[in-house]
Amino acid sequence: MIIWIGLAGMLGAVLRYSLGRCISGSLGTAFPWGTWVINISGSLFLGLLYGWHQSASIPDEVWVIWGTGFCGAYTTFSTFGYETLGLMGQGRYSRAILYVTSSVLLGVAASFAGVWLTA
């Protein structure tokens, strides 16, 4: 199973990098839109996986491979922290507060929405 987790992680990392570049290229870098979209969409997907797993719609192996491997590599707390510090270092405190607040609130809401959608 370790190999499958690693492969799912590679897929998540490649998708995160590609999607992040695409979003940042389209919307600019004044606000970290790429990481914001990735973390919220990853929270939604993890909520879906959790809901499916809790209802026994997917086996434990699928939950672990996609939840740990893919979502673990796709979402990124370290980049979130780095970008928050970057905004603060640039004196963009309002954007930093908006980034942190909206990321946490919408990330948790997306997780709940994923679980709700599987009910």
Residues 27-48 have a mean pLDDT of 97
SS (H, E, C) 23-75: HHHHHCCCCCHHHHHHHHHHHHHHHHHHHHHHCCCCCHHHHHHHHHHHHHHHC
* Residue-level pLDDT at 51: 98
Model's pTM, two decimal places? 0.94
Where in the chain are the domains? 2-118
* Residue-level pLDDT at 117: 98
Residues 87-109 have a mean pLDDT of 98
pLDDT band per the 50, 70, 90 thresholds, residue 16:
very high
72 labelled binding-site residue: yes
* Residue-level pLDDT at 85: 98
